Structure 1
Amino acid sequence: MKQTHFLSATAAITLAMALGSPGAHAHEIYAGIGTEGVGAGFAYALDDRFNARAEINGFALSRSFTAGDLSYDARATLLHGGLYADWFPAPQTAPFRFVIGALIGDDHVNATATSTNGTYNINGVVVAANGETVTARARYPTVRPYLGIGFGHTPNGKPGFGMYFDAGVTYGRPRVSLNVPDSIAAQVSQANIDAERQELQDKANRLRFYPIVKIGVTYRF
């Protein structure tokens, strides 16, 4: 609920600045790469100190990891949009800006537990896999707030090509689910399954503050 309120406030601030602008200003398209993957966006200069921006970023990554007594093969998929408001405290002096915004999307990790010799070790209890597979999923909230700083996207910049850089952090606690088939769950107590899921949750909680760093090219017209 708090994140929904944050998104509403961000959209309201951006809209208010747009309505307060007496006339059209420069537009900008841009593309970049960073910890969100590859992305592209559009910026609109509201006046000499403020920008409104919208962009989309995404990537997919496969890796293996261990949580508790289980090892997993996982695939992380990040695909989200972003709404941002930029404030330039001294646009005539430097293209430095403060950024507030929100990420909106379905960023998640799907994981499959790897069995050893046809067995799983669930919180210290070795059970037969019986041809079944234990899976897990961690999903970020749909809306996450963002705070950061950056260079570039200057409202009073000249037409043509330029560059930008952003560094910030977004917050959202991933929600973890662990799917244990009935034939496996029958061999181990629910307390052990819950303990294994908590190990996953603890690992996911380390990524509730997700760092965002990106660099890219702009074109102003």
Structure 2
Amino acid sequence: MCTKKWFLCLLAVLFLGEQAMAEDKTTFVIDIGTMGAGAAYVLPVNEHINARLGLHGWQYSETVTKSGVRYDADLELKSTSAIADFHPLRGLLRLSGGIVFNGNNFSLTGQPSAGTFNFNGVLYPAAQVGSATGSVDFNTLSPYLGIGLGNSPKGHHSLSIALDLGAVYQGSPNVGLSVSCGNGLPASICSKLQSDAAAEARQLEDSVKNYQWWPVIALGIAFRF
């Protein structure tokens, strides 16, 4: 049941932990970094360990060229994280590990260059291509490992800096590319276009395979209350 209702179960654990350590203060963090802008709720479990639940997101657009094709790319960063922070010396330094529920994705819209599309090294006039759209997404459950500063379970400052350095393993990207044929395009040319588009999708997948690891750098402000 906890697997299907992880969020409710995690909240239950946090609240039970809060009751067990009523004398310790909880912390709320606002930060920004490579996972986007977001916030985290930090609860001390014992004198060495914190539990941290975070939400992050961001969106931006840019034009990229992959395998000879120009795309309007929209990147959506979207994640929820459940992290345990271990403070070996009960001070600022911490070692972190946990799970990121990863919704990061790219949406791609192909655009002609000089009036043509280049699929698999073959040039097609823009009129022969109805549309070219693609997507890139990643594993939903992604492990996180990192180090950081701040949020000590035994800290006494009401306001402090929080820093995270680490990486999320997203796995091999899932790439999709859909190309439709233009109106009135002969069946033989349409078939060739679809074949070249499938080969282009494989090249696109190769070009983004280095995104298996997503670097995490975040700087924020922690409020203890």
TM-score normalised by structure 2 residue count:
0.84
1:188 aligns with 2:192: yes
Aligned twin of 1:136: 134
CA shift at 1:187, angstroms? 5.4
In the TM superposition, what are the counterparts of 1:160-171 in structure 2 within 5 Å?
160-171=158-169
CA distance in 2, matches of 1:114, 1:204: 19
CA contact (8 A) 2:108 2:133 kept: yes
Deviations 1:7-64 (A, max 9, x none): x8xx88x959x66984333211110111112111100001100000101111112112
In the TM superposition, what are the counterparts of 1:80-159 in structure 2 within 5 Å?
80-91=79-90, 94-130=91-127, 132-159=130-157
Aligned residues: 210
CA shift at 1:217, angstroms? 0.4
CA contact (8 A) 1:163 1:216 kept: yes
CA distance in 2, matches of 1:206, 1:54: 28
Is the partner of 2:199 in helix, strand or coil? helix
RMSD (Å), alpha carbons: 2.5
CA contact (8 A) 1:54 1:82 kept: yes
2:52 aligned partner, one-letter code: R
Sequence identity (%): 27
CA distance in 1, matches of 2:159, 2:13: 27
CA shift at 1:198, angstroms? 1.4
1:101 aligned partner, one-letter code: G
CA contact (8 A) 2:42 2:52 kept: yes
Gaps of 5+ in 1: none
Aligned twin of 1:28: 27
CA distance in 2, matches of 1:120, 1:57: 36
Is the partner of 1:154 in helix, strand or coil? coil
TM-score normalised by structure 1 residue count:
0.85
CA distance in 2, matches of 1:21, 1:51: 14
Aligned twin of 1:47: 46
